[in-house]
Structure 1
Amino acid sequence: MLNSVSMEKLRRVGLILLGLILGGGLLFIVIDLFKPKVAGLFVETNPSAKVLVDGVQMGMTPYRTTTKPGEVIILLIPESFNVSLATYETKVTLIPGVETVIRREFRELDDVSAGEIVSFDKINKDETSLAVVTDPDSAQLTIDGIDRAYTPHKTSSILPGEHTLDISADGYLDRVVRVKTHRGYKLTAFVKLGKTSMNPQESSPTTIPTPEPTSSYERKVEILQTDTGFLRVRENPSTLGKEIRQVRPGESYSLLDIDGKTGWFKIELEDGTVGWISNQYAREIESVSPTPTPAP
């Protein structure tokens, strides 16, 4: 009799424990299902800019955050010292579980500014997709230096991983965009190309004054103030170029050339190193030295 009672008690205790375990597991599943997923946002600009999300200032670029999904209005106000640069405003939809990337290169007018917005949409878990949309339309697109097409362009014949997009159009500066596709997602890149000039006058050749015979003119550039306290010298006239040196505000260097597309300055450093710097943080100056006159 005692054994029967003991067995009944043990059975009841076992059922209670099993119920708690199952109930607890179900509770964890429900919590996980209803746990809200956040969306990511990354903003990178040249030069640095204030970031406002739905009218609220959030910080300076480069700016990265996680927030609730949904449609937001992004306003970027560039920091400029000598020239007035065009602000940029766009509306984007932040998707749960993925990061939306906004890049912008500011110029005086929106027409000559450039940039891209890279976002992701969830698709079949076994598929990888890429879509490229441009401003202007019908731009020539090259993917990884091989596949050629015209925008807008969409393909599912692309492998997950890093890819290079080269976009060009007549009357606009070429742009190179590096992206990374993922299995189970469609990557959409909206690329804004900058026009080669702001007005008709800029399309005409620039006349360089001929120096007087009695003087020697050396074209130089002076480094202006920057947020970082230095200016990067790059191998190529683009923010994508490899950084090779740094120069400081107030310093001046010989000007070798001006890139016809970006306006960047090609300079020579004191040790003979040659590289490119952004014209947003430098200005052209002339250094005049008298030509020696032979003694009679």
Structure 2
Amino acid sequence: MIGITMKRKLIFVVVFVLLLGAILGGMKLLSGRAPKQGILKVQSTSAASVFLDNKHIGRTPLEEKIDAGEYAIRLVPESTVQSLATWQSSIKVAPGLLTFVNGSMAESEFTTAAETLWLEKITSKDAEISVTTNPDGASVSLDGSVKGVTPLSIPGVPAGDHTLTVASAGFVSRSLKIKTTGGFKVVTTVKLALSGEAAVQPTEATASPTPTGADKGSAKTTPTPKPTKAASSSDPAKPFVTIKDTPTGFLRVRMEPSTSASEAGRVNPEEKYHVEEEKSGWYQILYNGKDEGWISGQYAEKTE
């Protein structure tokens, strides 16, 4: 009788240990699959709704913990006094790091200025700054010293506070206050505004590695879709894009969905192209009847 009781106790202990192991293993597996997050900070000169991949996440000024990844970001001004243009771009959010977006909103996309900054881990002990601009070929100065024209990478930057200035003929210059940290690259994208309007005040943007803490909840809603234009018989198959007016009179087609990618060709305003693929605010098109390339959604209107 005692032997049977001991045997039952032994079986119970074994089953309990197995269940406990399964529970702990499951918790570890789930925690390992939990998405890693970074911090997204967005500010603008006029209050604006912020959308990531067409999902509303709040309004400026905004600071939220976001799952790491690449996103299409859009700022929609909420001003009731004047009509301000929408701005959109692509960003990257890295685990435990800060992504910063600043928009100087204006009445047209040509007079709107903006910059995005995020951090990437590098092997060098020094800091690094990469700069791309819209338009390309802008002059870049760091702490008053000219470094070259965009797209540009500046290696071996000492850790600390720096002033980055971007200038191009016919556009309003932008000055950014950047804080660099050894072992990290500050990826900077600057959209310049056409000159002729009131000068844009220098922008102070600080980027530094930031550990993520407790999750912050945020309401996410889907925006009301915009009505699509009726397609004519000469339009390409849907979905297609219509090229908007650009400051240069043409739109560059890139080899990859990035302003730092090589130029593959050019398309002109009012031309229409079938959308082959869409990725992070970029559209892949067949631009000369045979070659594929990517165009920025900033200068293309999509028809579904």
In 2, Cα distance between equivalents of 1:142 and 1:239: 14
* Higher RCO structure (Cα 8 Å, ≥6 apart): 2
What is residue 295 of structure 2 aligned with on the other side?
none
> For the residues of structure 2 that align with 1:237 and 1:67, how far apart are their CA atoms?
30
Measure the CA separation in 2 of the matches of 1:37 and 1:159.
29
Give the residue type in structure 2 aligned to 1:63.
L
* In 1: Cα distance, 2:30 partner to 2:105 partner: 45
Point out where structure 1 has 5 or more consecutive residues left out of the alignment.
Answer: 1-22, 203-235, 242-296
1:30 is displaced (CA, Å) by 8.9
Q: Alpha-carbon deviation of 1:157?
A: 2.0
Q: Relative to structure 1, is the Cα distance of residues 33 and 159 closer, same or farther in structure 2, using a 3 angstrom cutoff? A: farther
* Aligned mates of 1:32, 1:156 — CA distance in 2: 36
Note the residue ranges of structure 2 that are not aligned, 5 or more in a row.
1-20, 205-304
Give, in angstroms, the shift of residue 47 of structure 1.
0.8
Q: For residue 114 of structure 1, what is the aligned residue in structure 2?
A: 113
User: What is aligned with 1:129?
Assistant: 128
Aligned-partner residue type, residue 139 of structure 2: Q
In the superposition, the TM-score normalised over structure 1's length comes to 0.55
Deviations 1:122-163 (CA, angstroms, capped at 9, x unpaired)? 111524211111111111111011244222211212111111
Instruction: Please list every run of at least 4 consecutive aligned residues from structure 1 whose deviation after the TM superposition is greater than 3 angstroms.
Output: 27-36
Deviation at residue 31 of structure 1 after TM alignment? 9.1
Per-residue displacement from partner, 1:217-248 (whole Å, max 9, x unpaired)?
xxxxxxxxxxxxxxxxxxx972659xxxxxxx
Match of 1:238 in 2: 201
- Aligned partner of 2:92 in structure 1 is 93
**Which whole-Å CA distance do the structure 2 matches of 1:239 and 1:154 have between them?**
22
When Rg is computed on C-alpha atoms for both structures, the one with the higher figure is 1
Residue 29 (structure 1) shift: 9.9
Q: RMSD between aligned alpha carbons? A: 2.9
Tell me the residue number matched to 2:286. Answer: none
How does 1:182-193 map onto structure 2 within 5 Å? Answer: 182-193=181-192
CA-CA distance at 1:167 after TM superposition = 1.2
Structure 1 residue 73: Cα displacement? 2.3
1:88-125 per-position Cα deviation (integer Å, ceiling 9, x unaligned): 12222221121111111111111111010101111115
1:64 is aligned to 2:27: no
What residue number does 2:218 align with?
A: none
Change in CA separation of 1:140 and 1:52 when aligned onto 2, cut-off 3 Å? same
* 1:157 match: secondary structure: strand
Q: What is the TM-score normalised by the length of structure 2?
A: 0.53
Alignment partners' CA distance in 1, 2:73 and 2:123 = 30
What displacement does 1:34 show? 6.4
Q: How does 1:124-163 map to 2 (within 5 A)?
A: 124=123, 126-163=125-162
Quote the Cα distance in structure 1 between the aligned partners of 2:72 and 2:134: 19
Residues 247-281 of structure 1 deviation map (CA, whole Å, 9 limit, x = unaligned): xxxxxxxxxxxxxxxxxxxxxxxxxxxxxxxxxxx
Alignment partner, residue 231 of structure 2: none
User: Which amino acid letter does the alignment assign opposite residue 151 of structure 1?
Assistant: T
SS at match of 2:201: coil
Change (3 A) 1:32 1:125: farther
CA–CA distance in 1 between the matches of 2:200 and 2:57? 30
Identical-pair percentage: 29
Amino acid paired to 2:123: N
The equivalences for 1:205-216 within 5 A come to none
